Amino acid sequence: MKFPLFKKKKESSKSRPAYVNMRPRIDNSNILAQAKKRKQKQLLTKRAEFISPQIKSLPLSKILFTFVLLTLLIGAFIFLRNTTIFDVKVVEVITDKSESYSLVKEIADKYISKNIIFISSSEIENSIKSELSSVHTVFVNKTLDGKLKVEIIEDAPVYYEANNSGIYLINQSGGVMEVIEPETKLTFNETELLLRDNKLPADSDQVRIKYLEGFSEEERSKIIWKDVEREEKEAVLNQMKQDLDNKINDFTNKLAQQLKEDKYKNLIGSYIPNNENYSVGDKVPLERLNFLSIVLDFFKSKNLNSTKVVWDSDYSLEVFLQDNPSVLLSVKRSYSSQFIDLNTLIYYGQFSGARVVDVRSNNYSVVR
């Protein structure tokens, strides 16, 4: 029995020749193109099902009914749009002010022969309000027999404020409704502006010139201004201030005559500083107007007639009373506290006979 010393090694796979497929490769481009088309078709089907998932379940009768209904609606719209049955034949305007009747009628007449169904009420309302700033409310009523009814309620002024720039008519909400030109104008020169603003010193050249006006030419040459007593200079300055007050009072009196017309005589009003200027549509502070109303109601309850009311500043109000002193009040102090002080002065007889009563502070003062 023979046992070989070494086993015979298996032949290595590397030693075998590699297999080579010499047949040509299969052309599968058509198969890929068909697969791409199937994929696109499936995507379109899914989209169609997503957009109208119920379309296949709708019965034919429902589709026909929807089509007929839409056709009728479109036909009815075309008929109403073109028919003259519902055209506006009559326009009626109701207003409480004759001067605005013609303007409102002119706006409403533009809708004659137009289909009343397609006329916009808000359009008519906006047209009237844009032409008449005094209009508060517009009611538009349309009937199928061709009648267009427009009713307007105009806003009415309840206050006025006046100065050199204009007479401002103001409604309940504080809006300026109308601006009327004053018949007279108030102008100030440079010296008067300084006097008005309390910026003119007693030893100024303007006071010196006024002082020398009371002397003859010969006497003027002998007067040395620096040697003039301080009291004399102050007296001249006070006289200049009084002359300016008289000029302002004359202007406000002329405004008062203009305001006595029927259009304004029942309004609550006051004179405001000349630097205030308003236009139609501007808002005036209601705090000041309400304070004015309360103050005038108080004096009316005491049978004290006011002849003029002037705002010396944004916060200080001066009320001129007939045959009684003028009264200074302040918006910054509680009106009830000021009324208590006035009641005290009236009760103790300190009110009558005074020239000016000032209750703007806790320490009220009386000038006789």
Q: Cβ neighbours of residue 101 under 8 Å, at least 6 residues apart?
A: 93, 95
For 156, the token pair is: 């009415």
Prediction pTM value = 0.58
Domains and their CATH numbers in the chain = 90-154 (3.10.20), 157-281 (no CATH), 285-368 (no CATH)
298-302 contacts at long range (C-beta below 8 A, 24 or more positions apart): 298/335, 298/339, 298/342, 299/327, 302/346
Question: pLDDT for 170-220, tens place per residue?
Answer: 988 888 988 989 888 888 899 998 998 889 999 999 999 999 998 898 888
Say what percent of the chain tops pLDDT 70: 83
Question: pLDDT for 281-313, tens place per residue?
Answer: 899 888 888 999 999 999 999 999 988 899 988
The answer for 27, left when phi > 0, alpha when psi is -120 to 50, beta otherwise, is: beta
Question: pLDDT for 108-166, tens place per residue?
Answer: 888 888 887 778 888 888 888 888 767 778 888 888 788 888 888 878 888 899 988 89
Helix (H), strand (E) at residue 108: helix 101-109
The position carrying tokens 């045959």 is 323
253: which DSSP letter? H
Per-residue pLDDT band at 258 (split at 50, 70, 90): confident
